Structure 1
Amino acid sequence: MKFKIDTDTWFIFCLIFFGILSIFIFLYVYIPYSTRKRNTKRRNNRISRKLENFERVEKKYIQHKIIDLESKNEQLKVTLKEDITKIINSKQDADFEAFFSNFEKLYPDFKTSIYQIAPNLTSNELKLSAFLRLNLSSKEISNLLNITPESVNKARYRLRKKLYLSANEDLSTFILKI
């Protein structure tokens, strides 16, 4: 038996063969591409969830740390207020030492930063600047140091000169910024 295929049938078979071959080639390329794309999307989602969890945990940690530091700060402020009242009531130098140890816990870099600005400060000027850092008035400082308010104003003037402040700058705001 002889099969004779005319050119039209041959052309149709070739078209079907190449069509099926192109479908297989397309699937051979498309399936791994879509799998890689899906896996990449999953990985990116997993990474973004991990980053969100990390940021959430970090925010909680920072909030807990801030709350802890604020409570310690409040305790130190209460301790400073108690020390100030002890100083007012007893007028002893030992109370000043306790006050300044608590002051340095509350403002740890204050002493070093003020000595960087003016390295030749005396202990009385350092006390004055600490009281100004606590935003006390001249009258309150005079009661604490057992001197007159005029003496406090003169000491403020001398401190202003040692800190090289101009006439426009306020000493209290400058010390609060330190």
Structure 2
Amino acid sequence: MQYTIISLGILCLIIIIYSYRQVKTLQIRREILHNKATELQGQILDKRYEEILDLAKKNDSSFLSRFKEVYPGFITKLMDINPHLESSELVFCAMLKLNFSSKEIASYTFILHTSVQQRKRRLRRRLNISSEIDIYQFFNKL
């Protein structure tokens, strides 16, 4: 009887150790798969981001639609602030969101640097952005 109890205790201990090792192995596998999935999502976003940058640099008409796919809530938030924004203003805001400098925007959209500065001032008025607030930070927070 005593040997049976000891045998059952040892068997239970072996089962517990085996189960613990299996759970740990599964947790490690799950963590590895999660890391791989995160890495793949990052690669996809990087690829989409690069595509958006290329479209913006080429002043491509499909830029805004692709931008909306990568940043789905951005345009909606802008339209909540001012529902009367025009498509060209949305494109301009998207370029600011992508941190293009005024010179880059002027180069890519074939307008003068001073025109870009003027558009920024108008956009500040239309979106009620104070002059103390950095316009790039404003768009990055949206």
TM-score by length of 2: 0.75
2:61 to 93, 96, 109: 96
Following superposition, the deviation at residue 171 of structure 1 comes to 0.7
TM-score by length of 1: 0.62
Following superposition, the deviation at residue 103 of structure 1 comes to 1.9
RCO greater where, 1 or 2, for CA within 8 Å and sep 6 or more? Answer: 2
What is aligned with 1:79?
51
Q: Which runs of 5+ in 2 are unaligned?
A: none
Query: Tell me, what secondary structure is at the counterpart of 1:166?
Result: coil
Query: Tell me, what secondary structure is at the counterpart of 2:72?
Result: coil
- Amino acid across the alignment from 2:51: T
Q: Give the number of equivalent residue pairs.
A: 140
8 Å CA contact 1:76–1:105 kept in 2: the answer is no
What is aligned with 1:11?
none
1:160 to 121, 124, 127: 124
Q: 1:125 to 1:86 in 2, by over 3 A?
A: closer
8 Å CA contact 2:58–2:108 kept in 1: the answer is no
Partners of 1:42 and 1:118 in 2: how far apart? 67
Following superposition, the deviation at residue 96 of structure 1 comes to 1.8
8 Å CA contact 2:56–2:95 kept in 1: the answer is no
Partners of 1:115 and 1:53 in 2: how far apart? 49
> After the TM superposition, which segments of 4 or more aligned residues of structure 1 sit over 3 Å from their partners?
41-51
8 Å CA contact 2:81–2:127 kept in 1: the answer is yes
Following superposition, the deviation at residue 155 of structure 1 comes to 1.6
Partners of 1:118 and 1:43 in 2: how far apart? 64
Q: Which runs of 5+ in 1 are unaligned?
A: 1-26, 88-94
Following superposition, the deviation at residue 144 of structure 1 comes to 2.4
Q: 1:145 to 1:85 in 2, by over 3 A?
A: closer
Deviations 1:71-127 (A, max 9, x none): 21222233233323433xxxxxxx222x22332233232222332333332212211
Aligned-residue Cα RMSD (Å) equals 2.9
Query: Tell me, what secondary structure is at the counterpart of 2:58?
Result: helix
